[in-house]
Chain A
Amino acid sequence: MNCRHISRLLSAYIDGELTGVEMLEIRRHLDACRSCNLQYESLRYTKQLLSHLAYAEPRPGLDKRICARLESIEIPAYQKLWGRVFSYVRQRMTPVAAGCAALGAMLVVLVSTATHESDVIAVSDRAVYTTALQLPTQPRAPFGIVPVETRSPQPLVPDTIPVETLETRNSSIFSFASFETP
């Protein structure tokens, strides 16, 4: 370690907040380097000065004044409820159980998010046809599992759509479905 590095660690050295190896290395350096040693001494005296500061006493009755102010504190209902839940979880549940509960909650959130996304993916490829051909809306499958057969176009075809367009579109849909289910 050079002087610059040592200088940055001097406060932590004074507080004994370094590893044993670092402490030894700095002590050796301070024995050999007068400049760093002077810095160390001045910082140590600064710490000593602060620790000798007089204890600042409050005006008499501060505790009474604080307790009197607490009388007027109205804790909102949601905060009370949250406090009770927090307190119950902390007192009644082990960290493992609390962790499992948190994990469960996360899974529910993830699954519901995934449900929404998979619906969007499943529907987005046929959204054009659903709109253009006015296909009936499919009922939402539980947990986002959309059966492959429901992705194929419905047989309802309005008269206004040209037949060649329909064929092109239907073929692309079928190819998509076959790609999904090899």
Chain B
Amino acid sequence: MELIETAASAALSEDRRIFDELVQRYHKQAYNIAYRMTGNHADAEDLTQEAFIRAFRFFAQYKRELPFDSWLYKIMSNVFVDMLRRRPKAQIRSLDQPIATEDGEAVIEIADDSAGPEEQLMSREMDSRIQAALNSIPEDFRLAVIYADIEGLSYEEIADAMNCSIGTVRSRLHRGRKLLRDRLKYYTAQMQ
């Protein structure tokens, strides 16, 4: 009995050592995705930490022959959905849609505190615009777009990460891109 317990604890400490290495290797990548999902650093850090903790809890079920990041993305998607469920529903609003105030209607401006060379300024402004546009689309579309266009996953991998069919991925991605295109008309027109 003692032998079994020793073997089990040795296996657990070995798991822990492997997991620590995986944390070191993948935490930046996971954080980048988390930031694009949530749109702010505080939530991105929470999401990354929660995803790794959940991954650790179920680490025994992880198939070692498969890439760790694909498995982690699946967990991140679930944690992200859980996070959204726990919070009071945020109202999704188009950037172009004016909001009613006491002094009349106003249009949302995205704050930009950057300073420095013009290119850097443009790049930061564009980044925050794109992030704001991402935040404004439904989360299913957002996740599909992030996985495909930022992380470069295939449709099959996205379907696995989001627990849905490839057909659903195709549809979500297309609708998400169309919404983003409409919100980022100014930049896409410049690129054209």
**Residues of A bordering B, CB below 8 Å:** 8, 10-12, 15, 17, 41-43, 45-51, 53-59, 62-63, 65-67, 69-70, 73, 75, 79-80, 82-84, 86-87, 90
Contact = CB atoms under 8 A, between A and B. Distances in A.
Contacts of A65: 49
B130 A53 contact: yes
Given A11-B173, A42-B181, A58 B192 contact: no
Given A17-B154, A58-B28, A50 B60 contact: no
Given A43-B177, A47-B149, A75 B57 contact: yes
A59 B41 contact: yes
Interface stretch (B17-25, B75-83, B88-96, B98-106): B17-25
A47 B177 contact: yes
Interface in B39-66: 41, 44-45, 48-49, 52-53, 56-61, 63
Contacts of A49: 126, 130, 184, 187-188, 191
Contact of B48 (A55, A66, A83): A66
Interface in B107-166: 123, 126-127, 130-131, 145, 148-150, 152, 154-155
A21 to B, nearest CB: 17
A79 B44 contact: no
Contacts of B44: 56, 58
Nearest to A16: B154
A86 B130 CA distance: 43
